[in-house]
Structure 1
Amino acid sequence: MYAPERQQEILRLARESGRVDVLSLAEEFQVTAETIRRDLKILDRSGMVRRVHGGAIPAGRLDFEPDVAERESTAADEKNRIARAALAELPAEGSIILDAGTTVARLAAAIPVESGLTVVTHGLPVAARLADHPGIALHLVGGRVRHRTRAAVDAWALRAYAEIRADVLFLATNGFSPDGGLTTPDLAEAAVKSAAIAAARRVVLLADSAKAGQEHFARFGSFADVDLLITDSGLSPEDADAIKAAGTEVLLT
């Protein structure tokens, strides 16, 4: 099968199922994963699909959002390295905000047992990892819980973040780019992320490089809001330079 034929078939599958993933396509067409990634890049550039973690969705479905279980298994090695690197950004004492996100949840699980930090979070999986931590003073922000992300949103959460000033925010995002900034599919979740940014003196973004270039429906910040991006070595030098030009430090793991 020639590449254009394969790409048309990939597009058909994406429209039928709502999503395609790289590994399944590679197996189906008996080609390498890198070949499929090139196909998806061509389809993305033509506006036919939108690349997402591990695959693609049909263009126009910017509301697509993988659930927690799917995101937990995506880029697991990269997320683990990012979380370990983020440990160095924990203050010796004081307060932090942990955003709802699977990489941030990995950081929460790795916080040393001797830590005596005050931690604020609106993410249920994050809170669950810290609930039994002996030294942590844990504050769980309330609100309507989004089933897909297990994050509290809406007015209660916004009011809570308006009342605090934390030392460091460890922030998550669904997509980022130097021009498009930080984006997520849901407006309510974006509003809480914006409130968390405003509630912190320092912002550390934890995001694997697969999210680079992804733009979703709701924009909640720019790199002017971010002090440090911790990502993996898959980030292109061009993107890294553009992000640094915005005043953000970039750490590759």
Structure 2
Amino acid sequence: MYAPERQQEILRLAREAGRVDVLSLAEQFQVTAETVRRDLKALDRAGLVRRVHGGAIPAGRLDFEPDLTERETTAADEKSRIARAALAELPDGGSAILDAGTTVARLAADLPVDAALTVVTHALPVAARLAGHTGIELHLVGGRVRHRTRAAVDAWALRAYAEIHADVAFVATNGFSAHGGLTTPDLAEAAVKRAVVAAARRVVLLADSAKAGEEHFARFAGFAEVDLLITDTGLAPEHKAAIEAAGTEVVLV
């Protein structure tokens, strides 16, 4: 099947189902995931689909954002490896901000029982995982809770982060690229993520490679503000090179 034929079929599937995902398309058409991403990029440039985390939706559904349950099951193995690698970036007895995101929540779940540090988070799933950890001094940032992400947003959260200077922030994103930076679909969520980035001396981005090249509505940081990206080995060499050229260290796990 030639690329234009495959892209036409991908567009038909997206319109019928309301969403298509990269891995399922790769299996269906017997091509690599990178080939599917190129197809989706071509359809996105043509204005026929909108690329989202792990796949695409038909053009016109720009507000689409997968719910928490769906994101937790996407790229589960990759997220687990990323979270384990991130443990090495925890400050010994220092302070850390844990952003809202499923990979960051896995990091919270993997914290050793003998860990001793101060943690600040606006993410309810992260707080729930750490509430019983006796070595963690947990600070929960409040605000309006978004049902889709279980994260606090708006003025209360922004004021709290404006008063914090943490050693490190572990940040999540819906999409990233060297040119487009870090993006997410929701403006309120982006504002809090921007405040998180500003509130830490060191910023570590935890993101699986399926998010590479994806751009969403709200931009909250550029790679000049990110010290380290921990991602999986599926990251394309050209993405890695471009991000490193922006000054960010990249670790593949």
Deviation at 1:116, TM superposition (A): 1.2
Match of 1:235 in 2: 235
Deviation at 1:53, TM superposition (A): 3.3
Match of 2:167 in 1: 167
- Whether the aligned pair in 2 keeps the contact of 1:96 and 1:120 (CA below 8 Å) is yes
TM-score using structure 1 length: 0.92
- Whether the aligned pair in 1 keeps the contact of 2:53 and 2:174 (CA below 8 Å) is no
Q: Where do 1:137-152 residues align within 5 Å?
A: 137-152=137-152
Deviates more, 1:239-248 or 1:48-57: 48-57
Match of 1:34 in 2: 32
Deviation at 1:2, TM superposition (A): 6.7
| Other structure's SS at 1:57 match | strand
- Mapped to 1, the partners of 2:84 and 2:197 lie a distance apart of 22
Match of 1:132 in 2: 132
Deviates more, 1:36-45 or 1:50-59: 36-45
Task: Render the CA deviation track for 1:187-225: whole Å, top value 9, x for unaligned.
Answer: 000000011111111100001111110000000010011
| Other structure's SS at 2:32 match | helix
Deviation at 1:59, TM superposition (A): 2.9
Q: Which amino acid aligns with 1:219?
A: R
| Other structure's SS at 2:169 match | strand
Distance 1:225 1:60, change over 3 A: farther
- Mapped to 2, the partners of 1:189 and 1:159 lie a distance apart of 14
- Whether the aligned pair in 1 keeps the contact of 2:100 and 2:126 (CA below 8 Å) is yes
- Whether the aligned pair in 2 keeps the contact of 1:183 and 1:219 (CA below 8 Å) is yes
Task: Render the CA deviation track for 1:72-91: whole Å, top value 9, x for unaligned.
Answer: 01111110110000000001
Q: Which amino acid aligns with 1:240?
A: K
| Other structure's SS at 1:64 match | coil
- Whether the aligned pair in 1 keeps the contact of 2:142 and 2:152 (CA below 8 Å) is yes
Task: Render the CA deviation track for 1:89-129: whole Å, top value 9, x for unaligned.
Answer: 00111110000000000000011111111100000111111
Q: Where do 1:10-49 residues align within 5 Å?
A: 10-22=10-22, 31-32=29-30, 34=32, 37=36, 39-49=39-49
- Mapped to 2, the partners of 1:243 and 1:64 lie a distance apart of 27
- Mapped to 2, the partners of 1:23 and 1:251 lie a distance apart of 23
- Mapped to 1, the partners of 2:102 and 2:238 lie a distance apart of 26
Q: Where do 1:1-253 residues align within 5 Å?
A: 4-22=4-22, 31-32=29-30, 34=32, 37=36, 39-253=39-253
- Mapped to 1, the partners of 2:54 and 2:168 lie a distance apart of 30
- Whether the aligned pair in 2 keeps the contact of 1:23 and 1:33 (CA below 8 Å) is no
Percent identity, aligned pairs only, is 81
- Mapped to 1, the partners of 2:22 and 2:238 lie a distance apart of 24
- Whether the aligned pair in 2 keeps the contact of 1:168 and 1:202 (CA below 8 Å) is yes
Displacement over 6 Å in runs of 4+: none
| Other structure's SS at 1:133 match | coil
Distance 1:184 1:243, change over 3 A: same
Deviation at 1:55, TM superposition (A): 2.5
Task: Render the CA deviation track for 1:18-40: whole Å, top value 9, x for unaligned.
Answer: 2123465567xx54263882644
| Other structure's SS at 2:106 match | helix
Distance 1:117 1:22, change over 3 A: same
Q: Which amino acid aligns with 2:30?
A: T
Deviation at 1:60, TM superposition (A): 4.2
| Other structure's SS at 1:115 match | coil
- Mapped to 2, the partners of 1:3 and 1:167 lie a distance apart of 48
